A = this chain, B = another copy of it.
Amino acid sequence: MSSADGVSPLDGASGAPSLQRILRRPAEPGMALAQIETPALLVDLPALDRNIARLAAYVQSQSPGVRLRPHAKTHKSPDVARRQIAAGAVGVCCQTVGEAEAMAAAGIADILLSNQIAGAGKAARLAAIAGQSRLSVCVDDPAQVALLSEAALAAGVTIHILVELDVGGARCGVQSAEAARALAELVQSTPGLGFGGLQAYHGRAQHMRKPQERKAAIERAILLAGEAAAKIRAAGIACDTVTGAGTGSFEFEAASALYTELQCGSYVFMDADYARNERDDTTAMPRFEQALTVLTTVISTPLPDRAVCDAGLKAMSLDSGPPSLQLHPGLDYAGVSDEHSTLTMHAPATLRVGQAIHLVPGHCDPTVAMHDWIIVHDGKRVLDVWPVTRGW
């Protein structure tokens, strides 16, 4: 029996005994796709590399000088991050301290935690990362400034700080240019910290379906971020970085002459929800390919038109709608439970027990986070198996 979930007593980093877990990888390079046990998370490597190259080429040609800092919350994979950096990215964004630790351990030299943190433990972990890599983090509250300063001083490092401005996302971020200026001044005068600029990400704009809706939302974000940057600069503080943008909107931030960095994440994998965004084909916007699938197997065909396969709510996130069956014309997605998807066959008995199905996830980021490994392939064989960062 494989000890796929073995738990072994090993020595912890501290030297004290600590219960640890060993996860074995589910496939090996050279294996045929048909041999992979399911459900499994698959990435088509040629498609991934084309997506990386297309965004890099677009930014370089359309807005030279704007930096690309892809969001690693999409892939949680140092292996993907290294390919993005090899194509010209300046570093990565992370959304959790655990992701930032994994990126720093893999040698990524420039990391932005595009999020707020709380708690002395997480501040100390960030300061430890700042001893290895250039580390920036967002704040929108003086309490975070105090916490980060204390940790930076204790570790003898500098933590770079971006003030987050709410530019329409309605989540975190200060609510006015004046508040941004006040917080920038506080950061500027706080030991252990360096003020870096503005985080101005508009998450809600990414999935607006029409290009003109996304454009209008980002025009408003540019206005708000521009006002805040001007206020900060008027106070005598350099505001070198204005960072934001995602896969749905980056063309507008890239052309703004304000944003200096783009944080696109999903473009690298794509998903069924982003595929529903309408395009304006009069622009040079790159087309990204679907590189991510969940491989599943038919385990039951109880009725002539019903097939049940072995990937459900624990193998893919349905928060942005069900997975797409675009790779399997003739099938409809009929229902999901914890470990099952139910499919309807247009023509009776077209599927048998044991057949493989490639589902295109509705939402890539939370789907990837459910898995321990990404199986990388070329459509025929396994090329590599990459770990997915676990924990926070």
A-side residues, CB < 8 A to B, are 1-7, 10, 12-13, 18-26, 28, 35, 37-40, 73, 95-96, 98, 101-102, 104-105, 115-119, 121-122, 125, 128-129, 131-132, 140-141, 143-144, 166, 170-175, 203, 297-303, 308, 310, 313-315, 317-319, 335-340, 342, 352-354, 363, 365-366, 369-370, 372, 385, 387, 389-392
Nearest opposing residue in chain B for A318, CB measure: B319
- Roughly how many angstroms separate A317 CA and B369 CA in the complex, as a whole number? 12
A-B contact pairs, 29 of them (CB 8 A): A2-B125, A3-B105, A4-B101, A4-B390, A18-B24, A20-B22, A20-B24, A21-B23, A21-B25, A21-B372, A23-B391, A38-B392, A73-B338, A95-B338, A95-B339, A116-B308, A118-B298, A118-B354, A119-B354, A140-B300, A140-B302, A141-B301, A143-B352, A166-B302, A172-B299, A172-B340, A173-B300, A314-B366, A338-B369
Nearest opposing residue in chain B for A1, CB measure: B128
Partner of A132, one of B1, B96, B132, B174: B1
User: Is B391's CB under 8 angstroms from A96's CB?
Assistant: no
User: Is A37's CB under 8 angstroms from B116's CB?
Assistant: no
User: Is B13's CB under 8 angstroms from A2's CB?
Assistant: yes
Given A5-B105, A314-B366, 15 more A-B residue pairs with CB atoms under 8 Å apart are A1-B132, A2-B128, A5-B98, A10-B22, A23-B390, A38-B392, A115-B299, A117-B299, A118-B310, A119-B297, A144-B299, A171-B308, A172-B340, A313-B366, A372-B391
Q: What are the residues of chain B within 8 A of A335 when measuring CB–CB?
A: 170-171
Q: What are the residues of chain B within 8 A of A392 when measuring CB–CB?
A: 37-40, 310, 315
Each complex incorporates copies of this chain amounting to: 2
Interface SS of chain A: helix, strand, loop or mixed? Answer: loop
Q: What are the residues of chain B within 8 A of A319 when measuring CB–CB?
A: 313, 318-319, 336
Q: What are the residues of chain B within 8 A of A7 when measuring CB–CB?
A: 387
* Known contacts A140-B302, A353-B141: A24-B12 contact under CB 8 Å: yes
Q: What are the residues of chain B within 8 A of A387 when measuring CB–CB?
A: 5, 7, 19, 21
Q: What are the residues of chain B within 8 A of A25 when measuring CB–CB?
A: 18-21
- Roughly how many angstroms separate A12 CA and B118 CA in the complex, as a whole number? 39
Nearest opposing residue in chain B for A138, CB measure: B300
Q: What are the residues of chain B within 8 A of A39 when measuring CB–CB?
A: 392
User: Is B21's CB under 8 angstroms from A175's CB?
Assistant: no
Nearest opposing residue in chain B for A98, CB measure: B4
* Known contacts A172-B340, A339-B95: A391-B5 contact under CB 8 Å: yes
Nearest opposing residue in chain B for A166, CB measure: B302
User: Is B6's CB under 8 angstroms from A121's CB?
Assistant: no
